[in-house]
Chains A and B, each alone.
Chain A
Amino acid sequence: MAQKYELKQREVWDGNLAAAHALRQAQVDVVAAYPITPSTPIVQNYAQFLADGYVDGEFVMVESEHSAMSACVGAAAAGGRVATATSSQGYALMVEVLYQASGMRLPIVMTVVNRALASPLNIHGDHSDLYLGRDAGWIHLIANNPQEAYDLTLCAFRIGEDERVRLPVTTNQDGFLVSHTAQVVEPLSDEEAYKFVGDYKPKYPMLDTKNPVTYGAQTEEEWHFEHKVNQHKALMESFPVIEEVFSEFEKLTGRKYNLVETYKLDDADIALVLMGSAFETAMLAVDKAREEGIKVGLLMPRVFRPFPYNEIAKKLKNVKAVAALDRSAPMGTTGALFNEVSAALMANGQSAIMTNYIYGLGGRDTTVEHILEVIKETNENKKANKRVTPLQGFINLRGPKLSFN
């Protein structure tokens, strides 16, 4: 029996410790993980919990991230609750297995501490890894601070394990900016947290040897399409379950999460779309801009996959100009948020003057002033009623001004 961890009503945790506590409270049966900066402390904290008797599951210290996810898949198929953590290079190494995990509909929870992808090598926060795994069939939740990292990790178990979903879930948090920044977190007690997450309900467990099953069959031209469509359908239809879980979480804690988060968007005529820790920086910039009379608001997909395109279009109905900020180098095109938000508007018969900004790569600092500049540029577009600024710009890039059209 795992020992109870006495928590205060308000703790001071960084994103890594918050995620580690959430994994501990969910009473995960098997954690198979490999250390990589900046998610290493999650694995280390978990190991310390195990060594002190606060965890009674198994902790498999595998020899690579590919094996980490493979062991997670083997353990989940065997029939129990499974979780892991990683970042960037490790995430990239296990990408093959991410597809295999979601194809087998196994509700694994992974906390990814988003970090840049080499080359050149960089250990700091950006969304390259998040964008890499977009199509792998996992549900993606975005946390902007340690409290959200804790909350969303607990919600992840409920969402993934729901009978109507049965898909693996990733909780994302910015490397160093969230993972290593300590803030106030109000955790649930061990009992409350476990009660919310609930017991694991197995589906086709391999260890139930009275009902032997075969996982991972081969489907060729005759079958593959039908199977992949079912997986896609489960993702597309998971929105109501996610909202239900968020609703229940609100009743328990008073903290409400939504498919799409907004800040001062209701009366805004221009908007910025961005995810991660920079969202909170942008909130301060929005307040400042409003003091100067600019009616700007923010929008963020709390759930990046499945992408809530209809919700986003609805929220941007009255907005004339939108700047989509992507924290990943799109390599030859406009960024993912730009593309998906533009498509969301178009699909709903709406339009707005769209611009794309690339920012914060490899942990590059993005300040209130930088965002304020973006707000002012977007406002110019609104005033001119057409795009007068470049299609794609770069924030806080050292050197002569660079842009693409």
Chain B
Amino acid sequence: MKNITNLKEFACTPDRFQGGHRLCPGCAHSMIVREVVNATDDDLVISTATGCLEVCSAIYPYTSWDVSWIHIGFENAAAAISGAEAMYKALSKKNKLYNPDKRVKFVAFGGDGGTYDIGFQSLSGAVERGHDFLYVCLDNENYANTGGQRSSSTPLGAHTTTTPRGRVSYGEKQRKKDLTMIMAAHGCPYVATAIPSTKHWKDLAVKAAKAIETVGPTFINALSPCTTEWKFKPEETTEIADLAVETCAFPLYEIEDGRKLRITYRPKVKLPIEEYLSRQGRFSHLFKPENKWIIAEWQKQVDEYWDYLQRREEAGV
């Protein structure tokens, strides 16, 4: 496992995901992907579901990937990587590996669309079968690539193009699906949440290194603030991610073997949820007097979940 100590040393890593791609300026996907692929020295084979990352990093005749990479479709990033990993095992058994002296690790990237929704089945299947791979969900809480439609990851009250705010509606009516816990319930050896941030860069990098090193299916749910669809200025991406953590809207934790939960960051002062919601255009309508109850509901849900995590950590389950 790569020894990740400080950023000055980590920054010596030759970047395996390059620029020249067509992601929006300030896109968090790219920050997350760079940290994940640079968190290991092993060779990598990567699969990606259709979505912002895939579409922007492989527009013929250009590719931004320094490692082998495959995109098949929207719902099968996990199935694709299962096949590649199975081939690695098969060739290994038959002594027919192309580079037998170098270990190859498998990573799949999918947006919340390709992971929470249409790709959920193939992810669940791949994890149940115990393939040795890491799945990173780049969660921007909507189908950003096609213009910002809702997904099951879209949180309460958010404005999306299929749950728009209007005269008679306040936007998304459902709660955000708790995919991280669902993946832990699959019995994955390692599951974690993470964000792109300078303050918490090491949290993500170490989690990625650990997840890649762990044998078996591992899952990282990375919150990916989307400047285009969440409606904030491109330079504020890491600020929004930090606020998600400081308000406990998106707590940072990890779970080993589906049971041992450990909170990896506790904000010294838990900020009120308004600090997070007020920075994003997709929630601006929640500050109207008739919608204030939604903010109260948000705070209630965040507090309850934060409390639940702490109790679970304490009980060691």
Contacts and interface: CB of A to CB of B under 8 A. Distances in A.
Direct contact of A and B (CB under 8 A): yes
Interface of A: 29-30, 32, 56-58, 60-64, 66-68, 70-80, 82, 96-97, 100, 202, 205-210, 212-220, 223, 227
Nearest to B75: A66
Given A78-B45, A209-B104, A218-B59, A70 B99 contact: no
B80 interface: yes
Given A74-B79, A209-B99, A210-B98, 5 more contacts: A62-B79, A77-B80, A79-B98, A216-B71, A218-B58
B63 A97 contact: no
Nearest to B125: A63
B228 interface: no
Contact of A216 (B45, B58, B67, B83): B58
Interface in B39-73: 43-45, 47, 54-55, 58-63, 65-73
Q: Majority SS of interface residues in chain A? A: mixed
Contacts of A227: 60
B82 interface: yes
A364 B89 CA distance: 44
* In the complex, the 6 A-B pairs of residues with the closest C-beta atoms, listed nearest first: A74-B83, A63-B125, A71-B83, A216-B71, A70-B79, A75-B83
Contact of B99 (A75, A210, A220): A210
Contacts of A64: 121-122, 125
B7 interface: no
Interface residues of B, number: 51
Nearest to B102: A209
Contacts of A96: 73
A279 B128 CA distance: 44
Contacts of B65: 212, 214
B295 interface: no
Contacts, number: 179
Contacts of A30: 83, 86-87, 90
Interface in B5-42: none
B215 interface: no
A80 B55 contact: no
Contact of A206 (B68, B75, B124): B68
Contact of A209 (B75, B93, B98, B126): B98
Given A78-B87, A80-B90, A70 B73 contact: yes
Contacts of B54: 216, 218
B67 A67 contact: no
Contacts of B73: 70, 96-97, 100
Contacts of B180: none
A205 B58 contact: no
Interface in B255-303: none
Given A63-B124, A208-B99, A217-B63, A77 B58 contact: no
23 contacts: A56-B93, A60-B82, A61-B129, A63-B124, A63-B125, A63-B128, A64-B121, A68-B79, A70-B83, A73-B70, A74-B87, A97-B72, A97-B76, A206-B68, A206-B84, A207-B98, A209-B44, A209-B104, A215-B71, A217-B60, A217-B71, A218-B54, A218-B58
B45 A207 contact: yes
A303 to B, nearest CB: 27
B289 to A, nearest CB: 46
B28 to A, nearest CB: 21
Contact of B122 (A70, A77, A212): A70
Given A70-B76, A70-B80, A210-B99, A62 B91 contact: no
B60 A223 contact: yes
B70 to A, nearest CB: 4
B94 interface: yes
Contacts of B88: 78, 207
B182 interface: no
